[in-house]
Structure 1
Amino acid sequence: MAEQSQADHARAGLIARLGRTRTVVRGAMLVERLWPLALPLVVVASLFLSLAWFGVFRLLPDWGRLALLALFGICGLAAVWPLRLFRAPSAGEIDRRIERANQLEHAPVSAQSDRLAGAEDAFSAALWREHQKRMAERLGHLHGDLPQTSVPRRDPWGLRALAALLFVTALAYSTGPYGGRIADAFQPPAATPAAPARIDAWVTPPAYTGRAPIFLTADANRERQAFTVPQNSIMAVRVSGGSGEETLSFIDAGGGAHAIAPEGPAQAAGAALSFSQMLSGAGTVSLSDGGLEMARWQFSVVPDTPPRIRFAGEPGRAVNGALELAYEIEDDYGAVKAEGHLALATPAREARPLFEAPELPLSLPRRGSQDGAARTARDLTRHPWAGETVTLTLSATDAAGQTGESETKTFLLPQRPFTNPLARALIEQRRMLALDAGRQRRVQALMDALLLWPEETFDEPSHFLLISAVRSRLGTAGDDEALRGVVEDLWEIALIIEDGDLTAAERRLRQAQEALRQALENGASDEEIERLMDELRAAMQDYLREFAERALRNRDFAESQGGEPMRRSDLERMLDEIEDLAKSGARDQARDLLSQLETMMNNLQAMRPQPGQGGGQQSEMRQQMDRLGEIMRRQQELMNETFRLDQFRRGQPGQEGRQPGQQGEEGQGQGGMSPGELAEALRGLQQGQGGLRDDLQALMEALEGLGIRPGEGFGEAGEAMGEAEQSLGQGRGERAVGEQGRALEALRRGAQDMMNQMQQAMRGQQGPGQEGGRQDQAGRDPLGRPRATTGPDFGDTVDVPDEIDRQRAREILDAIRRRLGDALSPDLERRYLERLLDIQ
């Protein structure tokens, strides 16, 4: 039984190997019989595809395309006809192929599947099995053979390889921009336009960037494919004279593509087709027509970052009590708005305030400023929050709507100082009521206390009547609107008690200044600027007139001005400069000059005398400064006279037109001098130089008495004066002139040091009520010029454009307006010129 099972297993393995060999041989015979019959059809098909991919059908006229297509059809039918001769191999043919491939005799493969013919007995069956067994032993290593077609005999030159090579080349060519399509053989070719399509493409950056448009199809950019543009730029493509089927697509950096729809309804062939796309990110724009790419542009986008704003210093107090802010704003293309957000640092719980936080618009830096520095002064002393601890956060917004914020500062909001006790009491009650309407009864009780003894409290009967009237309004106020009216009345009454009628003129001046500033920032017309300038001039005249009247009534106030008086001609000149700059388009410089004018007027207001402010020591300091100026003047005259005498001694008169015998400034004759007279003149100069040195020594001692330490410049000047005196005694005029010049320069340095010490001394005399008052402007008049006690003005404190700059600005504006009025200017150029006129 074991032997029988083993024999059956071996036979099963033999049958499996034989089956696999038959399958391989069957495939080889199928290829061998089918390939020679199918090869003509394959060659015809490859030639058809090759011609289609090479674009032959697209180039042929319609009748040529149809003729070639019919020829390929006939060839295809002829190539299909031989396929009718195909016959699949039978099982016997497969077995004989195996036996022939393995060189087997006596048909051992067929014997495995054959059966005995006729009646079968036990002996014949055993004999047949023994025969199959012996034949099976010869089938241990069966194998098939490769197909053997008759193609090489039919094509001994290998021409069929040309068709394969042509097919591969055409396949590669079809992937390019000029490759054809299979569909070209079955559709008529597109009508060729009479002229090539015109492509105009450009990118328009956002107007707030100030960048000029980029013309992508200009001659200078035709070879470029990569461009860098600002974020949110608009790309526009216009195709004229095309097929009307052009498509524009945008491929982003991640590879995603989306089509850009044309503007307007569908256009016929030859009509203009327009596309537009906002470039918010990097990508590639491709223009195609029927699968054929016509143009491609790659864009890198510069992102528009949010603005950055920060404090450049701590919030300060101006001389008139206004809030002064110094800050810096940075943005890619400049911020368009900036403002401050105020809030109470410690708001009272359950309080019902009558007023919201004050608005605080900020001035923007000048366009093109390198550091982005800007300053803003806003008078918030009228607001009820003045004198309270507040928090301030600055914010800036750019043209794209992005906002940046600064850090938060906590400080005391500047308030107007009131010297009159009654005015201070009213302001305190006003603040109490404004911050909490629930304290109405308490404020009413405090006002009753003020009115209790009018003969002891009020100097003017009108003040008593005013406070009585507002007390009555407070008692009958039933809503917040009435209470806000009481708060406003308390402020007006306090101003009347403190300053009298000057407040009306001051308010009118501030309103005129603010209206002009808003007009400059908003780009008002020239007519509006002229009208506001007239209002500012009238308001300033009223303010200066009342200020002068106050100075005449108050002698101490007039003496406190000191130095060079303010001239109305200076103010008129500044007003004219502001108007000229505004009309010529230099609005930024006009705003700067207006800010300087406001500073001058604030300084003028700050010159009001304060209680306890003495002027004795300041008068002594001024006298010493005058003495120093006299010493410097005399030293200059001595140096000039020494130079003239030295030139005469050398035979080179130093001044044309002088007649013999003419007297100089020191009474020394120079024309027709004898050697003796020249020597006498030099001795006189020597004596004058020695006296000048003694005067300098006396000045230094007087300064020490005032607590001012003379600087090194005065010591060096004394030494130079001594050297000059000695040189004059020796008749060495040239060296004397050099020493006198050194002395004069040393005197200037000493005067500067003396001025600085005086300013510190004067600032130290100011009381607590004057913090932030005249410290920043010590030693300067309202025009910002140094006073007589602080030395000469070198003219570098006010930056006003030259006349040639303003004239050039007017010429540029006139040229732009003339070009804009030209009816033949293209629309794109007109829009660009209009944007130029809008830039302020």
Structure 2
Amino acid sequence: MATSGPGGGGRLERLGGTRLATRIAMVTERLWPLVLPVLLVAGLFLATSWFGLFRMLPDAGRHVVLAIFGLAGLAALYPLRFFRLPTERQVDRRIETANTLQHAPVSTQSDRIVGPEDALSTALWREHQRRMAAKLGQLASDMPRARVPERDPWALRAVVPLLLVIAFAYSTSPFGGAVSDGFRSHVVSNVAPLRIDAWVTPPPYTGRAPIFMTAEANRNQTAFTVPEGSAVSLRVTGGDGDETLSFTGQDDVAVAIEPEGTVAVDVAQAGAAPIRPTGTRQFSHTLDGDGALVLQSGETDLGGWSFSVIPDNPPVIAYADEPKRAVNGTLELAYTIEDDYGAVSARAVIERRDNPASNARPLYEAPEMALSLPRRNARDAKTSRDMTEHPWAGVETAIRLAAIDAANQEAFSEEKRLRLPERPFSNPLARAVIEQRRVLALDANRKPRVLDLMDAVTMRPEDTFSSMSHYLAIRSARSRLAQASSDEQLREVVDYLWEIALGIEDGNLSAAERRLRAAQEALRDAIENGASDDEIERLMAELREAMQDFLREFAERAARDPNMAMPEMQMDGQELRQSDIDRMLDQIEEMAKSGMRDQAQQLLSQLQDMMNNLQAGRQQQQQQGGQQSEMRQQMDQLGDLMRRQQEMMNETHRLDQMQRGQRQRGQNRGEQRGEQGQGQQPGPGQQPGQGMTPEEFAEALRQLQEGQGQLQSQLDQLMEGLRGMGIEPGEGFGEAGDAMGEAGNALGEAQGERAVGEQGRALEALRRGAQDMMQQMQQAQQGDQGGSGEGGRQQSSDRDPLGRPRATTGPDFGESVRLPDEIDVQRAREILEAIRKRLGDALSPELERQYLERLLDIQ
């Protein structure tokens, strides 16, 4: 066969494109039946994974299924070894067959002549090719024919794509699976669901409630502001068990927080193999500064929270006033305390500043003085402490105040110099004993000097001692001191010297005084701590007994000393009667039992001040003598006048209200009489004879008018008496006289309401006049006592020696502390009893019971 060149250039180019398309079609129809099994196996594996079937199988079953899919995949790959690419001849033959060409025109274009070529044979072959090429005008490639339906007449292959689409949609649900499930261990994939609980507990002293960070209300919040020292706790239940917690502070250094412990919990899943035991891990960390808390599982963040810590500032304590010696000799400290959440304790730090010897050996440490804390929502506080019995009394000291808060932060105030208050002794022998007692207590090395002084004092007892019992007491102390060989024995001698000095100075009065103070302190502590009613009643009984002993011994000394005033004698124009003290004690007990603790403590402090000033007044009485009886009589007369005016105003108001009520009943009686039948009895409020007749009203008003006139006359006499004493009555007395006259006229005209108003105006004017009279009397008394100038007036212008406002037993100016009256106290007690009764009801809700308990616990 001769070889010929190509013919019909354009047709041959189109023939190349047809050959390429036909080759692709032939490759596809040969490869597709071989690849389809592999694709079907892969589709089934994906569908199984996305349906979550691997999660439901135990590890052994999972391994078997994976092995089956692996073998099926290998089997599906095996037919690929028979794949062969089509040859050019096969492609040309496929084109000729597809286009129904005769005489193989496509193959002719690529054939060549076999044997020797000459010009004729070559020309003939080319002409043949040209003619065959003319038949290739419109060639078309053939479509692939894989003949898969012939191998799968039931079309089962379509099930796999359908399952694949459904499984992919199911995989997006919470219960869907993942492709990697088949390659994960069953233990890892079947852990209990992860639960995270996190909360912050502020320190108890802050009074703030815990913050639950994972609660529904705080679930979207990641930043929290908490007090310093708050404890953050995090509990992880379930999960993989590899959760870690770290805290990153302001220095950007992450600190790992180890779990406190693991509690094993068995969790089983129904319908599947038992789930491995998981643990509940508890993490805790104290927040001392700002930072962030991060919970992780491997490299995955499970949660994070940031904290802004409110610092707990140290307390601030400062003097509100200079430390001073109170009238009764106690050390009085006034101060202010401020803290974020309130201080828990305070004290006074006392140090010596009298330059002791370098080798001094003191027997006693510095006195300890605990300070009272301010009450709720208050800053100012005051503490008094009797240190006259302490051996340091009379020593030059420096005092600093210290306060400690709940975070154990301590702060100090500035230093104040003060000589510790000491008890004044008027007896020279008692003063000498106290002085040597102080010398021995501050330096035990000076024992020989004290012994020498005792020998000197007792050398001539007939010239030194008025009572031989005092001589014997000092000689006994001298013997004890000489035989003392230890500090404890020396301290016993110091205590004994104090008892000797008290016996020389006051006899048995000091024992009663100490008992009274102890009873007052015990009652104050009980009220502050919310003691029971039985405890309050017992302590009140002890206080009353101690008060009676103190006043009895005080009265006995006053009877022996004509210069001392009795407890019921006047002191600077005021009287201290036993009835006043009893009334105060009754009110203290009633208010303490009714829950009015603040008022009870205030009244108890006032009573203590009265007793303290009574002792101070005793010393002033010894120096100044008795009071002016004429002034006392004027005060008594004015007090009686104001009392009678008050009673008359009350009676006028009662009669006026009665008259108005009777008039109203008279108007209603006619209406009710028409409604009643002839055989009916009178209704309630209509009994015959009830009320007063007009004549009785007129007589009662006439008597009140006469009494009002008598009060006006007594006021005129009082004013004349004051002028005779050199005291000019103030404008208040004149206005009171005019108001009394108007009140009398109103009573004569039967105008009760107008009379009550004028009587009230008269009573108020009497109070103003009494104030002016008291000021003038005080100035006159100070002039007699040698006091002059502004300083002398300020000394006693506001308070009497008993610590009370002036004239509390006479006219009341309304300046004293208001005490609850009987109605207030009774009402408070009824409320308290109602709360207790409701609290005892077993059917009360728990929330209500907690609220009532908080009411009873209010300080």
Same structural fold, with TM-score higher than 0.5 when normalized by the shorter chain: yes
The match for 2:222 among 225, 238, 253 is 225
Counterpart for residue 494 of structure 1: 501
Amino acid at match of 1:657: M
The Cα of 1:580 is off from its aligned counterpart by 3.8
- The residue number in structure 2 matching 1:695 is 717
Q: Which amino acid aligns with 2:303?
A: A
More deviation, 255-264/614-623? 614-623
CA distance in 2, matches of 1:353, 1:714: 64
Q: CA deviation at 1:765?
A: 7.4
Q: Does 1:432 align with 2:442?
A: no
Displacement of 1:404 after TM fit? 0.8
Q: Aligned in 2, Cα 1:692/1:352: closer, same or farther, shift over 3 Å?
A: same
1:250 to 238, 241, 247: 247
1:164 alignment partner in structure 2: none
The equivalent of 1:207 in structure 2 is: 204
Residue in structure 2 matched with residue 624 of structure 1 by the alignment: 634
Q: CA deviation at 1:382?
A: 0.5
In structure 1, distance between residues paired with 2:827 and 2:639 = 36
Contact 1:228–1:302 at 8 Å: present in 2 too?
yes
User: Aligned to 1:307, which of 303, 306, 315?
Assistant: 315
Give how far 1:259 is off: 2.4
Partner of 1:753: 772
The answer to whether the Cα contact below 8 Å between 2:737 and 2:762 also exists between their aligned partners in 1 is yes
Q: 415-424 or 656-665, which moves further after superposition?
A: 656-665
2:575 is aligned with what amino acid? G
Q: Aligned to 2:279, what secondary structure does the other structure show? A: coil
Pair 1:660–1:580, CA change in 2 (3 A): closer
Is the Cα contact below 8 Å between 2:293 and 2:306 reproduced in 1?
yes
Displacement of 1:234: 1.3
Residue pair 2:262, 2:282 contacting (<8 A) in 1 also? no
CA distance in 1, matches of 2:393, 2:617: 22
CA distance, structure 2, for counterparts of residue 413 and residue 370 of structure 1: 31
Match of 1:336 in 2: 344
Secondary structure in 1 aligned to 2:349?
strand
Q: Hey, what's the Cα distance between the residues in 1 that align with 2:653 and 2:833?
A: 49
Report 1:473-484 matches (<5 A): 473-484=480-491
Distance 1:437 1:763 in 2: 47
Q: Which residue of 1 aligns with 2:817?
A: 796
* C-alpha displacement of 1:573: 3.0
Write the distance in 1 (CA, Å) between the matches of 2:198 and 2:833.
Answer: 34
Is the Cα–Cα contact under 8 Å of residues 386 and 415 in structure 1 kept in the other structure? yes
Assess if the C-alpha contact under 8 Å between 1:642 and 1:685 holds in 2.
no
Find 1:320's aligned residue among 305, 325, 328. 328
Give the counterpart letter for 1:216 in structure 2.
M
Q: 1:288 to 1:831 in 2, by over 3 A?
A: farther
Cα distance change of structure 1 residues 443 and 737 upon mapping to structure 2, 3 Å threshold: same
Quote the Cα distance in structure 1 between the aligned partners of 2:775 and 2:472: 50
- AA aligned to 1:279 is L
User: 1:657: which partner in 2?
Assistant: 692
Q: Match of 1:411?
A: 418
Partner in structure 1 of residue 355 of structure 2: 347
User: Match of 1:628, as an amino acid?
Assistant: L
Report the secondary structure of 1:745's partner residue: helix
Partner of 2:304: 296
1:788 corresponds to which letter in structure 2? T
Supply the distance in 2 between the matched residues of 1:691 and 1:839 (Cα, whole angstroms). 53
1:217-256 CA-to-partner distances (Å, cap 9, x unmatched) read: 3333333333222211112222334443333222324433
Further displaced range: 649-658 or 376-385: 649-658
Q: TM-score, normalised by structure 2?
A: 0.62
> Could you tell me how far apart the structure 1 residues matched to 2:293 and 2:449 are?
73
Point out where structure 2 has 5 or more consecutive residues left out of the alignment. 1-45, 78-176, 266-276, 665-689
Query: What is the Cα deviation at residue 421 of structure 1?
Result: 2.5
Taking structure 1 as reference, are residues 68 and 565 closer, same or farther at Cα in structure 2, changes over 3 Å only?
farther
Q: Deviations over 1:658-678 (max 9, x none)?
A: 662578579x369xxxxxxxx
Deviates more, 1:637-646 or 1:268-277: 637-646
RMSD (Å), alpha carbons = 5.7
Deviation of the 1:443 alpha carbon:
3.2
- For 2:218 and 2:258, the matched residues in 1 are separated by 25
Task: Give, in angstroms, the shift of residue 485 of structure 1.
Answer: 2.8
Matched residue, 1:29: none
CA distance in 2, matches of 1:794, 1:497: 41
Aligned to 2:577, which of 565, 572, 581? 565
Distance 1:807 1:646 in 2: 31
Distance 1:738 1:591, change over 3 A: closer
Q: Distance in 2 between matches of 1:505 and 1:580?
A: 27
Q: What's the offset of the Cα at 1:310?
A: 1.0
| Cα distance change, pair 181–448 in 1 and its aligned pair in 2 (3 A) | farther
User: 1 CA distance for matches of 2:308 and 2:799?
Assistant: 55
Shift of 1:303: 1.2
Deviation (angstroms), 1:446: 3.2
Q: Structure 1 unaligned runs (5+)?
A: 1-51, 78-179, 671-680
The alpha-carbon distance between structure 1 residues 611 and 193, as it changes in their structure 2 partners (threshold 3 A), is same
Q: Secondary structure at the match of 1:779?
A: coil
2:356 alignment partner, SS class:
coil
User: Does the 8 Å CA contact 1:244/1:270 hold for their aligned counterparts?
Assistant: yes
**Partner AA of 1:261 in structure 2:** E
The equivalent of 1:283 in structure 2 is 291
The alpha carbon displacement at 1:409 in A equals: 1.0
Deviation at 1:293, TM superposition (A): 3.3
Deviations 1:691-716 (A, max 9, x none): 4664354255245x26xx65453455
DSSP 3-state at the match of 1:660: helix
Displacement of 1:401 in angstroms is: 0.8
Point out the more displaced range, 744-753 or 299-308: 744-753
Who is 1:381 aligned against?
388
Q: Write the distance in 1 (CA, Å) between the matches of 2:605 and 2:796.
A: 19
Question: Does the Cα contact within 8 Å between 1:566 and 1:782 map onto a contact in 2?
Answer: no
Q: In 2, Cα distance between the equivalents of 1:816 and 1:580?
A: 17
The aligned amino acid for 2:306 is Q
Q: 1:766-813 CA distances to partner (integer Å, 9 max, x unpaired)?
A: 899xx9x99699437589896324637788355899566677778889
On the 8 A contact 1:578/1:593 being kept in 2, the answer is no
Distance 1:726 1:807 in 2: 44
C-alpha distance 515-569 of structure 1, shift in aligned 2 (>3 A): closer
Distance 1:587 1:664, change over 3 A: closer
Distance change in 2, residues 1:644/1:301 (3 Å)? closer
Q: Deviation of residue 595 (structure 1)?
A: 4.7
Deviates more, 1:321-330 or 1:629-638: 629-638
Match of 1:236 in 2: 233
Which amino acid is the alignment partner of residue 695 of structure 2?
A: P
Q: Bigger shift: 327-336 or 796-805?
A: 796-805
Instruction: Say if 1:649 and 1:591 are closer, same or farther in 2 by CA, change over 3 A.
Output: closer
Q: Deviations over 1:616-655 (max 9, x none)?
A: 5543332222233345456668878999999999999999
Within 5 Å, which residues of 2 pair with 1:607-756? 607-610=617-620, 612-614=622-624, 616-632=626-642, 657=692, 660=695, 668=702, 691=713, 694-695=716-717, 697-702=719-724, 705=726, 710-714=729-733, 716-717=735-736, 741-756=760-775
* 2:374 equivalent to 1:365: yes
Over the matched positions of the two proteins, sequence identity in percent amounts to: 53
Aligned residue number for residue 166 of structure 1? none
How far apart are residue 201 of structure 1 and its match? 2.4
What is the aligned partner in structure 1 of residue 800 from structure 2?
A: 779
Q: Cα distance, 1:392 vs. partner?
A: 0.6
Aligned partners of 2:474 and 2:210: how far apart in 1? 66
Q: Which secondary structure does the structure 2 equivalent of 1:298 belong to?
A: strand
- C-alpha contact (below 8 Å) 2:247/2:292 kept by paired residues: yes
Q: What residue is the counterpart of 2:476 in the other structure?
A: 469
CA distance in 2, matches of 1:811, 1:736: 41
CA-to-aligned-CA distance 1:442-499 (integer Å, 9 cap, x gap): 4334333432432333222211211222233334445544433332222111111111
**Is 1:447 the counterpart of 2:447 in the alignment?**
no
Contact in 1 for aligned 2:617/2:801 (Cα 8 Å): no
Change (3 A) 1:452 1:181: farther
Secondary structure of 1:407's aligned partner:
coil
